[in-house]
Structure formats: C-alpha cells, structure tokens
Amino acid sequence: MGLITDNAYNYYAGSQNFIGDGSTVAFTINLSPQPVGEADFFVFIDDSLQLETSYTYTSPTLTFNTAPADNAQIVVTIKDKVYGDYRYTSLADIVTNFIIGYVGDGKIINRAKRRDVVFHAKRAIQEFSYDITKVEKIQEMEVGPSLSIPMPQDYVNYVAISYVDKYGIERPIPRGNITSKPSEAILQDDQFNYQFDSDDSLATSSALTDERFKSLDYKNLAGSFADDDYFYNSDYPAEKMLEVGKRYGGDPGLMNNNGFFVIDEKNGTINFTSNLSGYLITLKYISDSMGTDEEMKIHKFAEEAIYKHVAHALLSSMAQVPEYIVNRFRRERRASMRNAKLRLYDLKLPELTQVMRGKSKQIKH
C-alpha cells in the first residue's frame, strides 16, 4: 500500500470536500496531517463558518449535531497546513517498523517490549537532532529596554543570533566572551566580610556586573576612535601603528559594529548590549525534537541509521547477548550514521560551483 493517502487537492489546498444529503451526519476526514481535535481545522457549510459546538470530532470521524442539507457544500480546512512532511518518518512508524523488521522468532532480537523500543527510539531522535539532522528553529523578536530575551521553551543550544536590518538582511551578533553573568552577587560589609541572612545563608543582591554590561559602549571594544581620543591624534595617523593592542593588533573577535550578547545559563536568558535596544532579533537554535508529538520524527535519509541505533542500544542492554553480535551492530550503526550525515549535508554541485566562482581559481565545467 502506498504511503501517500491524500489526493493532490487535499494536499495543496489543505482541505477536503463533502456533499450533504440531508440525512448523513458522520463524515470521514482523510487529511495530512490528520487532525487531532476540533481546534485543528475549520468547517464551512456553503461558505459559512460553523461553530465548534455544532459538531464533534473523534479522529477520523467528523459528526454534525444536525445533518447538513441536501447538496450542501461541506469543506473541512486544516488551520496550519504544513507541506513537505513526507520527508520524515514519525516516531510511531519508526517503532512499528523496527518491531516488524528486527523483533521476533528467528531474528537477532527474539523479544523486546514496545516501551523499551520507544525509549531507545526517542533517545536516538534526540542524539540525531544534535549531531546528524540538527533541527534548527528560528525565532524572531524585538529587544526591549531590559536588553534581555528568554530562551525558547525547547532550547538546547544556539546556532546563531543576528539583528535584522531594514532590508531584511541578518547581521550576525557575536557572543561576548569578555564578560559573564554571575549566578549570585554576595553582599559584603565595609570590611569586605560576607554578610548572612537570618537562616545563616549568604546574603545576595543583583549583580553589578550585569548592570555595568547593560551600559557598555560597545565602541570601546570595537576599536572606534573619537575625535578627542587620548591615544590618537588625527594629525598623526602613524600613532595608530604605535598603539599596538588599542586599535591595530586588537582582538578581531571584538571588532564589530553589531554589538554583543551574553548568555545567562542560570536564569535562561540571552542579554544584549545597549545599542541593540529596539532591534529586531533572529535566534537560531537547536531543539532535541522532543518538545511536541509532531516533532518526534526522523528524516528519511537517516531512517536506516535510527533502526541500527535502536538495535545496538537494545542488544547492548540485554544479558547473555554474545559480544560479537553487539560489536557487529555497533559497526553497522556507525556506518549507517556516517551515510546519513553524508546524505543530509545536502551539497548541490551548482551551488558549490557558484560559491567557488568567487574564489581565486576559476572552476571550469
């Protein structure tokens, strides 16, 4: 049986049509993705939007309280249609396919509980998200007066942070490794002795490092000159060369006009220099694909690799499995993961050629 269940209209329009006959109240919805509840779709009868209270839905059946009139045009439309999902295999299909292909009499794995397969499949999806498929998400937000934004709910690590100029072009913001976010600021008396609360724990307050960073003039790090700069007289440009470490010879990582960001790991925030207040920011970050049920899927280029990964994980956790079998699946897992990485690198010869045309040596083809 084929994997495509939608016809072309259902897929591209994201909707399904029915005709009422005056008596039928139940209609079977066959859309991709299949709706989970009433909140996932709209229902129209003769172009009139229907209230959710006028019908019920238990996948895949839509049931009206009152049968639509004879020849009534019924349209069910997905609210947030996602295209291209055919590239992926869902967690449920991965588990089912693995049990069919690897578990049973006469196979390497005689018995395996479904929950064990699910656990190792989820762990495999997480590991693949970090190293192979690298699920990148992009959030757009504006930096407020606090100069801070919270980490996304499913944040694992950042890929890149940029501000967006008026043309929609991203300008990279480097990470400021010139400061840190203290997890606590300890109160001290006039003699610099630590102070304590009534329960004998250390007394703390807000960090001065944080306040000073917010007021940072990034030009002091970037190497910009002011007209009255003590170290430089515009009448004597040779002084630029003499002041090594101040302008020429400075740290290239700090020489930019885009500002900086610092990550507060304890409080889960990303903080920016004051010049970025009011700027539109894009945050690209890696998720582990475990946030929602819809995210628990794997690209088909890596499907074979995940089966080998789960098989090795199960066999290595079982007692009385010969070591040579575990080693065999370890080698197969490594080989399949390497193949998945090569496939997902997605190198296109025309794109590579176009980039290399700007290099010193012309590529002929």
Name the nearest CA neighbour of 15 among 84, 78, 83, 80.
Answer: 78
Claim to verify: residue 276 and residue 309 sit in the same structural domain: no
Confidence of residue 14 (pLDDT cuts 50, 70, 90): confident
Report if residue 356 sits inside a domain: no
- 155 is a domain residue: yes
Both 266 and 147 in a single domain?
Answer: yes
Please answer whether residues 277 and 143 qualify as being in contact, where contact means their C-beta atoms are separated by less than 8 angstroms.
yes
Q: Are residues 327 and 194 in the same domain?
A: no
Lowest mean pLDDT among 36-45, 47-56, 126-135, 194-203: 126-135
- Residue 87: inside a domain, yes or no? no
Lowest mean pLDDT among 48-62, 215-229, 280-294, 319-333: 215-229
If you write DSSP's letter for every residue of 186-213 in order, what string do you get? E-B-TT--B-B-TTSSBPEE--HHHHHH
The identity of residue 244, as a single letter, is V
* Residue pLDDT, tens place only, 147-159: 999 999 999 999 9
Check whether residue 73 and residue 190 sit in a common domain. no
pLDDT digits over 118-143, tens only? 999 999 999 888 888 777 789 999 99
Residues 276-322: tens digit of each pLDDT: 999 999 999 998 888 887 788 899 999 999 999 999 999 999 988 89
Six-digit token string for 228: 């009255």
Read off the pLDDT of each residue in 213-234 and give the average, rounded to a whole number.
59
| Structural domain for 270, as ranges | 136-218+257-286
Do 274 and 173 lie in a common domain? yes
Element spanning 118, H or E: helix 114-131
Question: In terms of domains, do 179 and 198 share one?
Answer: yes
CA angle 187, 189, 191 (to 5 degrees): 130
pLDDT interval class at 252 (50, 70, 90):
low
Cβ atoms of residues 279 and 142 within 8 Å:
yes
Q: In terms of pLDDT, which residue wins out, 45 or 7?
A: 45
Q: Are residues 277 and 150 in the same domain?
A: yes
The answer to the question of residue 329 being in a domain is: yes
Handedness of CA 348, 349, 350, 356 (dihedral sign): positive
Sheet containing 269-272: which strands, arranged edge to edge?
148-150, 269-272, 261-264
Q: What's the pLDDT score for residue 352?
A: 80
Residue 271: inside a domain: yes
Total count of domains within the chain:
3
Of 193, 213, 191, the residue nearest 263 (C-alpha):
213
Residue 285 CB neighbour total at 10 angstroms: 20
Please check whether residues 24 and 123 belong to one and the same domain: no
The yes-or-no verdict on residue 206 having pLDDT over 90 is: no
Q: Which of 18, 28, 35 is nearest to 78 (CA)?
A: 35
141 and 278 assigned to the same domain: yes
How would DSSP label each residue in 31-50? -SSPP-SGGGEEEEETTEEP
Average confidence (pLDDT) over 240-261: 62
* Domain annotation covers residue 90: no
198 against 314, higher pLDDT: 314
Residue 244 has pLDDT above 50, yes or no: no
- Is the same domain home to 123 and 145? no
| Domain-embedded: residue 46 | yes
Q: What is the pLDDT of residues 168-196, one digit of tens each?
A: 999 999 888 777 778 788 888 888 889 88
Strand partners, 185: 205
Both tokens of residue 180?
């840190």
Residue the block writes with tokens 């990964």: 309
What DSSP line would sit under 234-258, residue for residue?
Answer: TT-TTHHHHSTTTBTB--GGG--SS
Q: Are residues 160 and 196 in the same domain?
A: yes
Residue 338 in domain? yes
243, pLDDT greater than 50: no
Is residue 167 exposed (0-12), middle (13-18) or buried (19+ Cβ within 10 Å)? exposed
194 lies in the same domain as 276: yes
